[in-house]
Amino acid sequence: MKLIVSFLALFTTVAVQVVVQAGHSFEKLPAQRAAPGRHAAISARNKASSPASASSTASTTSTKALPSASSLTSAPTPPATSSARQPSTSGNGPSNNSGGRPINGLVNVISSKGCGSSGATEKITALSGPNGHINFLTCGINGTGWNPPLINIKGIVTVDLSAVAHQKDSAFANCQDFVATFEQYGSQYGIPAILLASFAMQESSCIPSTVGGAGEQGLMQLTGDKCVGAPNGDCMDVDFNIGAGAMFFSQLLDENDGDLLSSIGHYNGWFRGMTYANATAAAHGGSCREQNNLDYLHQFLNGWCQNINAYEHNPPLGEYFNLNVCN
Ligand SMILES: *[C@@H]1O[C@H](CO)[C@@H](O)[C@H](O)[C@H]1NC(C)=O
Ligand SMILES: *[C@@H]1O[C@H](CO)[C@@H](O)[C@H](O)[C@H]1NC(C)=O
Ligand SMILES: *[C@@H]1O[C@H](CO)[C@@H](O)[C@H](O)[C@H]1NC(C)=O
Protein backbone atom coordinates (compact mmCIF):
# COMPACT_ATOMS: atom_id res chain seq x y z
CA MET A 1 0.00 0.00 0.00
CA LYS A 2 2.63 2.49 0.99
CA LEU A 3 4.71 1.78 -2.04
CA ILE A 4 1.76 2.26 -4.29
CA VAL A 5 0.86 5.53 -2.68
CA SER A 6 4.39 6.81 -2.85
CA PHE A 7 4.66 5.81 -6.46
CA LEU A 8 1.53 7.71 -7.36
CA ALA A 9 2.62 10.69 -5.36
CA LEU A 10 5.74 10.96 -7.42
CA PHE A 11 3.98 11.09 -10.72
CA THR A 12 0.61 12.65 -10.40
CA THR A 13 -1.05 15.42 -8.52
CA VAL A 14 -4.18 13.30 -8.29
CA ALA A 15 -2.19 11.31 -5.81
CA VAL A 16 -2.44 14.13 -3.33
CA GLN A 17 -5.91 12.89 -2.55
CA VAL A 18 -4.76 9.33 -2.31
CA VAL A 19 -2.03 10.30 0.10
CA VAL A 20 -4.44 12.17 2.28
CA GLN A 21 -6.98 9.41 2.29
CA ALA A 22 -4.29 6.98 3.19
CA GLY A 23 -3.02 9.43 5.75
CA HIS A 24 -2.89 6.97 8.57
CA SER A 25 -0.34 4.90 6.79
CA PHE A 26 1.99 7.84 7.22
CA GLU A 27 0.98 8.73 10.71
CA LYS A 28 3.94 7.03 12.27
CA LEU A 29 6.35 9.32 10.49
CA PRO A 30 9.23 8.91 12.89
CA ALA A 31 10.18 12.55 12.91
CA GLN A 32 6.82 13.78 13.96
CA ARG A 33 4.74 11.24 15.74
CA ALA A 34 3.73 11.63 19.31
CA ALA A 35 5.36 9.43 21.85
CA PRO A 36 3.50 6.46 23.17
CA GLY A 37 3.39 5.45 26.74
CA ARG A 38 3.52 7.43 29.97
CA HIS A 39 -0.02 8.49 29.38
CA ALA A 40 -1.84 8.90 32.60
CA ALA A 41 -4.49 10.31 30.32
CA ILE A 42 -6.76 8.73 27.81
CA SER A 43 -4.18 6.39 26.49
CA ALA A 44 -0.92 5.43 25.19
CA ARG A 45 -0.81 5.72 21.47
CA ASN A 46 -2.06 2.87 19.43
CA LYS A 47 0.48 0.15 19.33
CA ALA A 48 0.91 -3.38 18.11
CA SER A 49 -2.67 -4.47 17.79
CA SER A 50 -4.01 -1.37 16.09
CA PRO A 51 -5.20 -1.49 12.50
CA ALA A 52 -2.50 0.97 11.60
CA SER A 53 0.19 -1.25 12.99
CA ALA A 54 0.99 -3.00 9.76
CA SER A 55 1.96 0.27 8.22
CA SER A 56 3.55 1.60 11.36
CA THR A 57 5.98 -1.25 11.57
CA ALA A 58 6.85 -0.56 7.97
CA SER A 59 7.25 3.13 8.55
CA THR A 60 10.98 3.14 9.05
CA THR A 61 11.59 1.46 5.78
CA SER A 62 9.24 3.70 3.85
CA THR A 63 10.53 6.96 5.25
CA LYS A 64 12.52 7.68 2.13
CA ALA A 65 9.36 7.85 0.10
CA LEU A 66 7.83 10.47 2.32
CA PRO A 67 9.45 13.69 1.21
CA SER A 68 7.91 13.43 -2.23
CA ALA A 69 4.49 12.79 -0.77
CA SER A 70 4.92 15.60 1.69
CA SER A 71 5.96 18.14 -0.85
CA LEU A 72 2.83 17.45 -2.83
CA THR A 73 0.65 17.76 0.21
CA SER A 74 2.08 21.13 1.08
CA ALA A 75 -0.32 22.63 -1.42
CA PRO A 76 -3.51 22.20 0.62
CA THR A 77 -2.19 24.22 3.54
CA PRO A 78 -4.94 26.78 4.00
CA PRO A 79 -4.03 30.44 3.91
CA ALA A 80 -3.51 31.85 7.37
CA THR A 81 -6.37 34.22 6.81
CA SER A 82 -8.79 31.40 6.04
CA SER A 83 -12.33 32.40 6.85
CA ALA A 84 -12.81 29.04 8.51
CA ARG A 85 -10.58 30.15 11.35
CA GLN A 86 -12.54 31.19 14.35
CA PRO A 87 -12.38 31.64 18.07
CA SER A 88 -12.56 28.39 19.87
CA THR A 89 -15.67 27.99 21.96
CA SER A 90 -18.97 29.37 23.01
CA GLY A 91 -17.48 29.94 26.41
CA ASN A 92 -19.65 27.83 28.69
CA GLY A 93 -16.93 25.31 28.87
CA PRO A 94 -15.32 23.56 31.75
CA SER A 95 -12.61 26.07 32.52
CA ASN A 96 -12.87 29.35 34.33
CA ASN A 97 -13.74 32.43 32.42
CA SER A 98 -10.68 34.59 32.65
CA GLY A 99 -8.88 35.48 29.46
CA GLY A 100 -10.58 36.00 26.15
CA ARG A 101 -10.77 35.10 22.55
CA PRO A 102 -7.88 35.31 20.12
CA ILE A 103 -6.64 38.78 19.26
CA ASN A 104 -6.19 39.59 15.58
CA GLY A 105 -6.12 35.92 14.73
CA LEU A 106 -3.39 35.12 17.25
CA VAL A 107 -3.48 33.31 20.58
CA ASN A 108 -4.63 35.29 23.60
CA VAL A 109 -2.17 34.60 26.39
CA ILE A 110 -3.44 35.12 29.95
CA SER A 111 0.00 34.97 31.50
CA SER A 112 3.30 34.33 29.78
CA LYS A 113 4.70 33.15 33.14
CA GLY A 114 7.98 34.85 32.32
CA CYS A 115 8.24 33.13 28.96
CA GLY A 116 8.21 36.36 26.97
CA SER A 117 6.13 37.01 23.91
CA SER A 118 4.21 34.15 22.35
CA GLY A 119 6.00 34.60 19.03
CA ALA A 120 2.71 33.65 17.35
CA THR A 121 2.51 34.14 13.60
CA GLU A 122 -0.45 33.97 11.29
CA LYS A 123 1.52 31.82 8.95
CA ILE A 124 2.23 28.26 9.98
CA THR A 125 5.94 27.54 9.88
CA ALA A 126 8.25 24.83 11.10
CA LEU A 127 8.56 26.61 14.44
CA SER A 128 5.50 28.77 14.89
CA GLY A 129 1.89 29.44 14.04
CA PRO A 130 -1.14 31.29 15.39
CA ASN A 131 -0.96 29.58 18.77
CA GLY A 132 2.63 30.53 19.51
CA HIS A 133 6.24 29.67 18.81
CA ILE A 134 7.45 26.23 19.82
CA ASN A 135 9.98 27.75 22.22
CA PHE A 136 7.14 29.56 23.95
CA LEU A 137 5.07 26.40 24.16
CA THR A 138 8.02 24.43 25.55
CA CYS A 139 9.24 27.25 27.78
CA GLY A 140 11.60 26.08 30.51
CA ILE A 141 12.29 22.69 29.03
CA ASN A 142 16.04 23.33 28.64
CA GLY A 143 16.35 24.84 32.09
CA THR A 144 14.53 24.24 35.31
CA GLY A 145 11.68 22.43 33.63
CA TRP A 146 8.55 23.00 31.61
CA ASN A 147 6.74 26.11 32.73
CA PRO A 148 3.70 26.32 30.46
CA PRO A 149 2.40 29.82 29.81
CA LEU A 150 -1.22 30.22 30.88
CA ILE A 151 -3.67 30.03 28.00
CA ASN A 152 -7.26 28.97 28.30
CA ILE A 153 -9.38 27.17 25.81
CA LYS A 154 -11.14 30.29 24.58
CA GLY A 155 -7.85 31.94 23.77
CA ILE A 156 -6.56 29.57 21.12
CA VAL A 157 -6.99 29.84 17.39
CA THR A 158 -8.69 26.88 15.79
CA VAL A 159 -10.49 26.20 12.55
CA ASP A 160 -14.01 24.89 12.47
CA LEU A 161 -14.07 21.11 12.07
CA SER A 162 -17.37 21.13 10.17
CA ALA A 163 -16.02 23.69 7.73
CA VAL A 164 -12.84 21.78 6.92
CA ALA A 165 -13.53 18.07 7.39
CA HIS A 166 -15.22 17.62 4.04
CA GLN A 167 -12.82 19.76 2.09
CA LYS A 168 -10.69 18.08 -0.47
CA ASP A 169 -7.40 17.09 1.16
CA SER A 170 -8.63 17.80 4.68
CA ALA A 171 -6.31 16.60 7.43
CA PHE A 172 -9.51 15.22 8.98
CA ALA A 173 -10.69 13.14 6.05
CA ASN A 174 -10.64 10.04 8.27
CA CYS A 175 -12.91 11.78 10.78
CA GLN A 176 -15.61 12.83 8.30
CA ASP A 177 -18.21 10.35 9.48
CA PHE A 178 -17.89 11.48 13.08
CA VAL A 179 -17.99 15.24 12.68
CA ALA A 180 -21.50 15.57 14.09
CA THR A 181 -20.52 13.59 17.17
CA PHE A 182 -17.37 15.65 17.75
CA GLU A 183 -19.49 18.79 17.39
CA GLN A 184 -22.14 17.50 19.76
CA TYR A 185 -19.77 16.66 22.60
CA GLY A 186 -17.58 19.64 21.85
CA SER A 187 -20.47 21.98 22.40
CA GLN A 188 -21.66 20.06 25.43
CA TYR A 189 -18.28 20.42 27.13
CA GLY A 190 -17.18 23.75 25.67
CA ILE A 191 -14.31 22.23 23.73
CA PRO A 192 -13.74 23.06 20.05
CA ALA A 193 -14.72 19.99 18.06
CA ILE A 194 -11.47 20.13 16.13
CA LEU A 195 -9.54 19.74 19.35
CA LEU A 196 -11.36 16.49 20.10
CA ALA A 197 -10.85 15.33 16.53
CA SER A 198 -7.16 16.21 16.81
CA PHE A 199 -6.82 13.83 19.72
CA ALA A 200 -8.62 11.21 17.67
CA MET A 201 -6.20 11.72 14.76
CA GLN A 202 -3.20 11.52 17.07
CA GLU A 203 -4.50 8.55 18.98
CA SER A 204 -6.15 6.37 16.37
CA SER A 205 -6.00 8.18 13.00
CA CYS A 206 -9.76 8.41 13.54
CA ILE A 207 -10.21 4.67 13.13
CA PRO A 208 -12.91 3.48 15.57
CA SER A 209 -11.69 -0.13 15.73
CA THR A 210 -8.24 0.82 16.98
CA VAL A 211 -6.99 -1.14 19.97
CA GLY A 212 -3.88 0.14 21.70
CA GLY A 213 -0.95 -1.84 23.03
CA ALA A 214 -2.38 -1.74 26.55
CA GLY A 215 -5.89 -2.44 25.32
CA GLU A 216 -6.93 1.20 24.84
CA GLN A 217 -10.16 1.42 22.93
CA GLY A 218 -11.35 3.19 19.85
CA LEU A 219 -11.12 6.68 18.41
CA MET A 220 -10.05 8.35 21.63
CA GLN A 221 -8.07 5.33 22.89
CA LEU A 222 -9.86 5.11 26.19
CA THR A 223 -8.27 3.13 28.96
CA GLY A 224 -10.44 0.50 30.63
CA ASP A 225 -11.41 2.67 33.57
CA LYS A 226 -13.06 5.13 31.16
CA CYS A 227 -15.08 2.42 29.42
CA VAL A 228 -17.50 1.92 32.30
CA GLY A 229 -21.05 2.28 31.07
CA ALA A 230 -20.30 1.65 27.41
CA PRO A 231 -23.38 0.40 25.52
CA ASN A 232 -23.38 -3.40 25.59
CA GLY A 233 -19.86 -3.12 26.92
CA ASP A 234 -18.67 -1.80 23.56
CA CYS A 235 -16.16 0.88 24.40
CA MET A 236 -15.47 1.42 20.70
CA ASP A 237 -18.99 2.67 20.21
CA VAL A 238 -18.32 5.98 18.49
CA ASP A 239 -20.84 8.02 20.40
CA PHE A 240 -19.80 6.65 23.76
CA ASN A 241 -16.11 6.82 22.94
CA ILE A 242 -16.07 10.46 21.85
CA GLY A 243 -18.37 11.45 24.70
CA ALA A 244 -16.18 9.81 27.31
CA GLY A 245 -13.02 11.31 25.79
CA ALA A 246 -14.57 14.78 25.79
CA MET A 247 -15.71 14.40 29.38
CA PHE A 248 -12.27 13.27 30.42
CA PHE A 249 -10.56 16.22 28.74
CA SER A 250 -13.06 18.58 30.31
CA GLN A 251 -12.25 17.16 33.75
CA LEU A 252 -8.57 17.53 33.01
CA LEU A 253 -9.08 21.22 32.23
CA ASP A 254 -10.97 21.67 35.47
CA GLU A 255 -8.27 19.95 37.47
CA ASN A 256 -5.70 22.26 35.88
CA ASP A 257 -7.81 25.34 36.54
CA GLY A 258 -8.28 25.93 32.82
CA ASP A 259 -4.57 25.68 31.95
CA LEU A 260 -4.84 24.39 28.39
CA LEU A 261 -1.17 23.67 27.66
CA SER A 262 -0.81 21.55 30.78
CA SER A 263 -3.98 19.67 29.86
CA ILE A 264 -2.97 18.94 26.27
CA GLY A 265 0.59 18.12 27.32
CA HIS A 266 -0.80 15.60 29.77
CA TYR A 267 -1.96 13.49 26.81
CA ASN A 268 1.64 13.01 25.82
CA GLY A 269 2.80 12.47 29.36
CA TRP A 270 4.12 15.98 29.87
CA PHE A 271 4.12 17.45 33.37
CA ARG A 272 4.97 20.85 34.77
CA GLY A 273 8.67 20.87 35.59
CA MET A 274 9.49 18.28 32.91
CA THR A 275 13.03 18.83 31.66
CA TYR A 276 14.60 17.90 28.35
CA ALA A 277 16.35 15.09 30.23
CA ASN A 278 13.05 13.84 31.65
CA ALA A 279 11.38 13.89 28.26
CA THR A 280 14.17 12.06 26.53
CA ALA A 281 15.15 9.67 29.31
CA ALA A 282 13.69 6.72 27.45
CA ALA A 283 15.74 7.45 24.32
CA HIS A 284 18.48 5.01 25.06
CA GLY A 285 16.55 2.28 26.72
CA GLY A 286 14.48 -0.47 25.22
CA SER A 287 11.40 1.72 25.19
CA CYS A 288 12.68 4.56 23.05
CA ARG A 289 9.21 5.51 21.85
CA GLU A 290 8.07 6.20 25.36
CA GLN A 291 9.87 9.51 25.22
CA ASN A 292 7.66 12.55 25.29
CA ASN A 293 7.48 14.07 21.85
CA LEU A 294 8.83 17.56 22.47
CA ASP A 295 7.24 18.87 19.27
CA TYR A 296 3.82 17.65 20.34
CA LEU A 297 2.24 20.92 21.46
CA HIS A 298 3.35 22.75 18.33
CA GLN A 299 2.15 19.91 16.13
CA PHE A 300 -1.16 19.77 17.96
CA LEU A 301 -2.00 23.47 18.23
CA ASN A 302 -0.37 24.88 15.11
CA GLY A 303 -0.82 21.71 13.08
CA TRP A 304 -3.94 19.63 13.65
CA CYS A 305 -6.01 22.46 15.13
CA GLN A 306 -5.38 24.43 11.91
CA ASN A 307 -6.37 21.51 9.67
CA ILE A 308 -2.72 20.73 9.01
CA ASN A 309 -1.74 17.09 9.03
CA ALA A 310 1.09 17.25 11.53
CA TYR A 311 2.59 14.04 10.20
CA GLU A 312 2.76 15.09 6.58
CA HIS A 313 3.49 18.79 6.65
CA ASN A 314 6.51 20.00 4.80
CA PRO A 315 8.63 21.36 6.37
CA PRO A 316 8.14 19.10 9.40
CA LEU A 317 6.59 20.91 12.36
CA GLY A 318 9.06 21.09 15.21
CA GLU A 319 12.68 21.40 16.20
CA TYR A 320 13.41 18.64 18.68
CA PHE A 321 12.44 15.51 16.73
CA ASN A 322 13.66 13.56 19.72
CA LEU A 323 11.90 10.41 18.59
CA ASN A 324 14.06 10.20 15.50
CA VAL A 325 16.74 8.37 17.46
CA CYS A 326 14.35 5.45 17.82
CA ASN A 327 14.65 4.49 14.15
C1 LIG B 1 16.19 23.94 23.77
O2 LIG B 1 17.38 23.55 23.17
C3 LIG B 1 17.23 23.12 21.84
C4 LIG B 1 18.54 22.52 21.39
O5 LIG B 1 19.59 23.38 21.64
C6 LIG B 1 16.81 24.30 21.00
O7 LIG B 1 16.65 23.91 19.66
C8 LIG B 1 15.48 24.82 21.53
O9 LIG B 1 15.13 25.98 20.85
C10 LIG B 1 15.57 25.12 23.02
N11 LIG B 1 14.21 25.33 23.52
C12 LIG B 1 13.89 26.40 24.20
C13 LIG B 1 12.48 26.46 24.69
O14 LIG B 1 14.66 27.33 24.43
C1 LIG C 1 -8.59 30.61 36.55
O2 LIG C 1 -8.93 31.41 37.66
C3 LIG C 1 -7.83 31.76 38.48
C4 LIG C 1 -8.36 32.51 39.71
O5 LIG C 1 -9.38 33.36 39.36
C6 LIG C 1 -6.84 32.57 37.69
O7 LIG C 1 -5.72 32.94 38.47
C8 LIG C 1 -6.36 31.74 36.52
O9 LIG C 1 -5.52 32.51 35.73
C10 LIG C 1 -7.52 31.25 35.70
N11 LIG C 1 -7.06 30.32 34.70
C12 LIG C 1 -7.42 30.43 33.44
C13 LIG C 1 -6.83 29.49 32.48
O14 LIG C 1 -8.19 31.26 33.06
C1 LIG D 1 13.08 14.46 36.05
O2 LIG D 1 14.46 14.69 36.14
C3 LIG D 1 14.88 14.99 37.46
C4 LIG D 1 16.33 15.41 37.39
O5 LIG D 1 17.07 14.45 36.70
C6 LIG D 1 14.65 13.79 38.34
O7 LIG D 1 15.06 14.05 39.65
C8 LIG D 1 13.19 13.45 38.32
O9 LIG D 1 12.97 12.28 39.04
C10 LIG D 1 12.69 13.29 36.91
N11 LIG D 1 11.25 13.16 36.98
C12 LIG D 1 10.62 12.21 36.34
C13 LIG D 1 9.16 12.15 36.54
O14 LIG D 1 11.19 11.40 35.62
- Burial status of residue 262 (CB atoms within 10 A of its CB: 0-12, 13-18, 19 or more): buried
C-alpha distances out from residue 264 to 8, 66, 193, 296, 298, Å = 36, 28, 14, 9, 11
Give me the sign of the Cα torsion angle 193, 290, 71, 314. positive
Mean pLDDT of 188-195: 97
Question: At 65, phi and psi to the nearest 5?
Answer: -75, -15
Q: Which is more confident, 285 or 13?
A: 285
State yes or no: pLDDT of 77 exceeds 50: no
Q: Is residue 99 part of a domain?
A: no
What total number of domains does the chain contain? 1
Q: Is residue 317 part of a domain?
A: yes
267 band by pLDDT with thresholds 50, 70 and 90: confident
Mean pLDDT of 162-170: 96
Q: Which is more confident, 72 or 171?
A: 171
Q: Rounding to the nearest 10 degrees, give the CA dihedral for residues 24, 188, 293, 177.
A: 0
State yes or no: pLDDT of 36 exceeds 60: no
Q: Is residue 104 part of a domain?
A: no
Residues with Cβ within 8 Å of 278's Cβ and at least 6 positions away in sequence, in order, are: 145, 292
Task: Give the pLDDT confidence score for residue 41 in this predicted structure.
Answer: 34
State yes or no: pLDDT of 54 exceeds 50: no
Query: Any residues with Cβ below 6 Å from ligand 2, and which?
Result: 95-96, 98-99, 110, 150, 152, 257-259
Rounded distance, CA 32 to CA 320, Å?
A: 9
CA–centroid distance, residue 273 to ligand 3 (Å): 9
Cβ–Cβ under 8 Å, residues 194 and 161:
yes
Long-range pairs, 3-10, Cβ under 8 A, ≥24: 3/62, 3/65, 5/69, 6/62, 6/65, 6/66, 6/68, 6/69, 9/65, 9/68, 9/69, 9/72, 10/68
Question: At 269, phi and psi to the nearest 5?
Answer: 80, 15
Cβ–Cβ under 8 Å, residues 159 and 172:
no
Q: Is residue 73 part of a domain?
A: no
Mean pLDDT of 301-310: 97
* Residue 157: strand, helix, or coil: strand
Task: Give the pLDDT confidence score for residue 95 in this predicted structure.
Answer: 54
- Give the structural domain span for 247: 2-65+153-326
Task: Give the pLDDT confidence score for residue 96 in this predicted structure.
Answer: 67
Q: Is residue 146 part of a domain?
A: no
State yes or no: pLDDT of 9 exceeds 60: no
Q: Is residue 81 part of a domain?
A: no
* Pocket of ligand 3 contains residue 40 by CB under 6 Å: no
* AA identity, residue 310: A
Rounded distance, CA 151 to CA 111, Å?
A: 7
Q: DSSP strand E in the chain: where?
A: 85-87, 157-159
**pLDDT digit string (tens) for 279-300?**
999 998 888 988 999 999 999 9
State yes or no: pLDDT of 43 exceeds 90: no
State yes or no: pLDDT of 23 exceeds 90: no
**pLDDT digit string (tens) for 79-134?**
333 334 343 343 445 556 678 999 999 999 999 999 999 999 999 999 999 999 99
Mean pLDDT of 195-203: 95
Rounded distance, CA 131 to CA 136, Å?
A: 10
* AA identity, residue 18: V
Taking CA 243 as the corner, what is the angle to CA 240 and CA 247, rounded to the nearest 5 degrees?
A: 135
Pocket test for ligand 3, best of 38, 275, 280, 291 (most atoms within 8 A of CB): 275
Q: Is residue 83 part of a domain?
A: no
Task: Give the pLDDT confidence score for residue 233 in this predicted structure.
Answer: 97
**pLDDT digit string (tens) for 205-263?**
999 999 998 899 999 999 999 999 999 999 999 999 999 999 999 999 999 999 999 99
Q: Is residue 256 part of a domain?
A: yes
Rg of the chain over all Cα atoms, to the nearest angstrom: 18
- List helix spans (H) across 65-172: 66-73, 134-137, 161-164
Pocket test for ligand 1, best of 118, 135, 136, 280 (most atoms within 8 A of CB): 135
Task: Give the pLDDT confidence score for residue 65 in this predicted structure.
Answer: 25
Q: DSSP strand E in 67-197: where?
A: 85-87, 157-159
Cβ–Cβ under 8 Å, residues 2 and 18:
no
